[in-house]
Chains A and B, each alone.
Chain A
Amino acid sequence: MLAVITPYVDSVLVVAMSYAVITLGLQLTLASGQFSVAHAALAGLGGYAAGLASIDGHWPFPLALASGAATGLVAGAILAAALARTSGILLGTVTIAVGQTLAVLMRNLDTAFGLRLGGSQGLSGIPTRTSLGWAAGTLAVALAAALALRASGVGLSMLAVGRDETVARSLGISVLATRLWGFAGGGALAGLGGALIAHNNGIVEPKDLSFASEPLFFIFLMIGGLATPWGAVAGAVGVWWLQELLRFPWSDDGTFGFLDQQDRYWILGVVLILVVLFRQQGAIPRRALRAPSGAAQ
């Protein structure tokens, strides 16, 4: 199986690693207790920005990537500031709305500030510059940044806020500032990953920003494990690799026993349910801290 890195393996790994960077961003935001469902949108915005930097600005690749990260950072910070009074499920719901609205916005904008955005066709003609080396290097940098942030004071504040905002507040931690870090940092990583994807596919489309693109990252994270950045990377690379492997058992007419290719989606649904039912313990450490009276039923 270790038939070195064929072009096929190369292409799968590039996508998997780019997704891993976005998933790292999602993990960062969720770890700070902010339930956000807008990371696909943040990644998409990063992709647009980086794509424009490459096409119109002829910027070198690292700078284009940085512009994607910066865009995600700013968008995340705006989101955090605007939604400061909302949390939990409501925050999740409203971030879905933001992502969806952005997708519609991009679909209807052919140009903005004199720059071509492509409207419903998407921004095409992005130079394909994301090589395996760039993807792996960026992932390494992103992972290092996520781990460093986690070990820092800000990271500890995030953990505290993620566990219990009231307790965190009583310890003198600024919940607002921590949220800002969670969203801005998570947005930056998502934007960075989006920039990688854009320079791999050569195009960013409005639908990449929409809610439909979001579950992928949640699946990576739920399966890999929510608790640490390592889980994000393991989940993204592992699951993406697995779903590629699943392409092979199908025979020529697209069937596998009584299953066919279309069965992948409901099987995915079953996997999601099972993961949620059986991985809750490992994934969510706060459970152990709860008084047993919480389990009233």
Chain B
Amino acid sequence: MDDVFLSISPTNERNIAPRAGRCRMTRDVVETSSLTKRFGSLVAVDNIDLSVRAGEVFGFLGPNGAGKTTTVRILCGLMAPTSGRATVVGHDVVKEPEEVKQRIGYMPQSYGLYDDLTVEENLDFFGSVYRVPPDEKRKRLNEILQLVRLEESRKQFSGQLSGGMKRRLSLAVSLIHNPELLILDEPTAGIDPPLRRVFWEYFRNLNQRGVTFFINTHYMDEAELCDRLALINYGRLVAIGTPTELKRKAVGGERVELVTVDSAKTLAALEGAESVREISVSDGIVQLVVDEASSAIPRLASLLREHGVEVLQIRQSQPSLEDVFIKLVQETGDKSRQ
């Protein structure tokens, strides 16, 4: 099901121009340097440097307790960092938190809207709080309700909504003032796969209209959908890059799978072959790690033919992001123990 989304919008085709009337001082929507947050002896966020470019969907990936929520709260101006700096939409989050808040949308991990207000009243309240002019507010309210498909529930008390509807309302509220950056803290945690899919449709839809996304997640399938990912563990940045780059980093190259009639003979033939970094065999399938799969595959195929090995199948295999995640996280785990 992931392919569907991957095909939606390649990065270079996206409209990343700033919207009219907004002057963007920097192309980096989020920029942190040596960002650190301590709670007593616990270092929740440890010296994080990262930058998020305008128009991208940036994934912030890490296990529970890695420091994702704390980071996001600092970026939203809800919490002061212990040290380091963070600039969001061109403003320092400590010095000018209100400027930041006015121009970003934030969806907290836990649902935090007023149960005794209706869907419409919640949106209306937050619209006024962000000082959206009444006419524009009414227009946006209708647009957003349409987007998150809550038009029919607009008069319902939000306390009566189902879990998934509450999440949709939560997203709607974060959109009411037309923010240029959306910071979402595990927006799809605890909701069913079909709805998660719908959420990512919303995200892509908004992204195409120029909204930058900063999304906390620990779902691998969601991470695949991000333009770039930052991997965080024990509060430290483990890796940053596109999903492909991260995979390459974790594997130490690219992976090629070989299916042959005689795997022992295959191993002998590949002994000492240049460009092959690692070889392993499982269930009769030979796994290779090479620098670049596309150029290595024809060379390997001819090499094996020369040695009289019959090749049934040779193809590049993608490691799952899950493997990558576990591998990179384990490496840092080891490092931190040293």
Whether A associates with B in a native complex is no
B residues contacting A by CB (< 8 A) are none
